[in-house]
Amino acid sequence: MHSKAEEIICQVPELNHEFIHFENFRGGLCNQTYKIQTKQSTYVLRINSRQNEYLNLTRRSEVEVMKKANREGFAPRVISDNHPEQFVVTEFIEGRVLEKDDLKGDHIKEMIMDRFKRIHRMEGQGRTCSPYDLIYGYLKGADQFQVKHPDGLNRILHRVEKIAHTRSDDKEYNGKFCHNDSFLCNMIYTGQQLQIIDWELSGVGDVFFELTLIPFTNQFSETDEREWLKLYFGYFEEETFHIFQDMKFVSMVREVVWGMFYSGITKEESHHDFDYYKFAEYCIQRIEHGIYQL
């Protein structure tokens, strides 16, 4: 696994110049990520997975988004992007990944909302990535790998179609640029700033989908969810709360098909000990019990 990283280090001048060492960084389930130390600086090398081939998202347009987010002040600087379909090198941000306990205070939550609003004002950069693009892209990929459809999948996909149809009427919050992978693990807190990493799923989508990602992975109570929505919109309305619940359902379905897709694309790989297919089945079970949280 490391030989590919070593090969890239040799061909990127910034990494090769006065190189000291590298280490596997942040055990992600998708891409391979490494921390590269030279005498001059520290970098992050991300060797891309093949998922974007199935989502019709180019790595070149992702890099353009990363550069724009860096100019806006909330993403690491891109160091090398000569081969974006294969890998990208960014500066290493000294800080720590946000954790669930960080959400107890208002300060971090307000910083997250500030970043969301600034992301949602970004131009599309020619990238579209709605929640439904993700769901049907992963599903198409899973079918190409001949992954068996878990029981109950068709029922939940039917509800997704109904939600997509309803959401298409919202011209204010549907059709905005979104990060689409804005979990706490993709937020680096430096002590002063909040930096957002992993822009590979970014594109024009639905703000409400973005807003569900932290609550549904951090077991927000109904009260927490209402406060979360009020933080973003500045007010609370029951209608937005109902939309939020629908999009939490969509988020759970995205997890189902993500698990299916990755069970197919990684079946020949031995270095993964995560059971993606069992995860997909687990998410369906939760949906069937009316639980739209991981």
> What are the backbone dihedrals phi and psi of residue 23, each rounded to the nearest 5 degrees, phi first?
-145, 150
Residue 144: pLDDT band with limits 50, 70, 90: very high
Please, how many CA atoms are within 13 Å of residue 125, restricted to the half-sphere of its CB?
28
**Maximal CA-CA distance, the chain:** 58
pTM here is 0.93
Q: Give the span between the Cα atoms of 187 and 108, in whole angstroms.
A: 11
Q: Would you say 25 and 67 are in contact if contact means Cβ atoms under 8 Å apart?
A: no
Quick one: tokens of 131? 């929640």
Total number of residues shown for the chain:
294
> What are the backbone dihedrals phi and psi of residue 279, each rounded to the nearest 5 degrees, phi first?
-65, -45
Q: What is the mean pLDDT of the chain?
A: 92
- Write the pLDDT tens digit of every residue in 270-288: 656 789 999 999 999 999 9
Predicted confidence (pLDDT) at residue 212 exceeds the cutoff of 60: yes
Domains of the chain with bracketed CATH: 2-94 (3.30.200.20), 97-288 (3.90.1200.10)
Three-state SS for 85-131 is: CCEEEEECCCCEECCHHHHHCHHHHHHHHHHHHHHHCCCCCCCECCH
Q: Give the span between the Cα atoms of 31 and 177, in whole angstroms.
A: 23
Q: Would you say 257 and 139 are in contact if contact means Cβ atoms under 8 Å apart?
A: yes
- Write the pLDDT tens digit of every residue in 43-97: 999 998 888 888 989 999 999 999 999 999 999 999 999 999 899 999 999 999 9
> What are the backbone dihedrals phi and psi of residue 286, each rounded to the nearest 5 degrees, phi first?
-65, -45
